Amino acid sequence: MRKLDNKDQQIIRTLQRNGRMTNQDLAAEVNLSPSPCLRRLKLLEQNGVITGYSANIDAEAYGLPVTVFVHIKLESHTEATVKKFETDIAHIDQVMECFVMTGASDYLLRVVVADLSDYEDFVRRRLHSIGSIASMDSSFVYGVVKKTNVFPTIG
């Protein structure tokens, strides 16, 4: 895959701010004519740089106002244990993101739920049923200082 140039990065950042804009508007925003802009966009999609398009939804308005970050430490790190954990986590709708971590925990989950009772149910029914979890540490979000989906400019 070729290295992204400044124009590719401009296209990506512009689409991260507004993924619904027309190619005409995108081209004007990044100072390209529409045909070269569309060619670059198609290449970014074909090369897997742009992996899809989605809507940003307010979780509270949707009915999931509670965000919890859950640090998970596994009992063991055998291939079977890790594979089972990762496969099971991938199928839990409340888990929005799961990161493999260095340091004290093995994984960091970003979980959304309706309320504390819903979170308790999530832990008891979904996480505990996976097994092989040595410890869990939950941190509840009570405010957001910054949230963006737009990457910083490189270089």
The tens digit of pLDDT for each residue in 77-133 reads: 999 999 999 999 999 999 999 999 999 999 999 999 999 999 999 999 999 999 999
Q: What percent of the chain has pLDDT over 70?
A: 99
Mean pLDDT of the chain: 96
Compute the average pLDDT of residues 59-80. 97
How many residues are present in the chain? 155
Task: Report the topology of domain 6-46.
Answer: Arc Repressor Mutant, subunit A (1.10.10)
Q: Within 13 Å of residue 106, how many CA atoms lie on the same side as its CB?
A: 16
pLDDT at position 1: 61
Spans of all domains in the chain: 6-46, 59-140
Domain spanning 59-140: CATH 3.30.70.920: yes
Cβ contact 27:37 at 8 Å: yes
The tens digit of pLDDT for each residue in 32-48 reads: 999 999 999 999 999 99
Query: Is residue 51 pLDDT above 70, yes or no?
Result: yes
The tens digit of pLDDT for each residue in 9-39 reads: 999 999 999 999 999 999 999 999 999 999 9
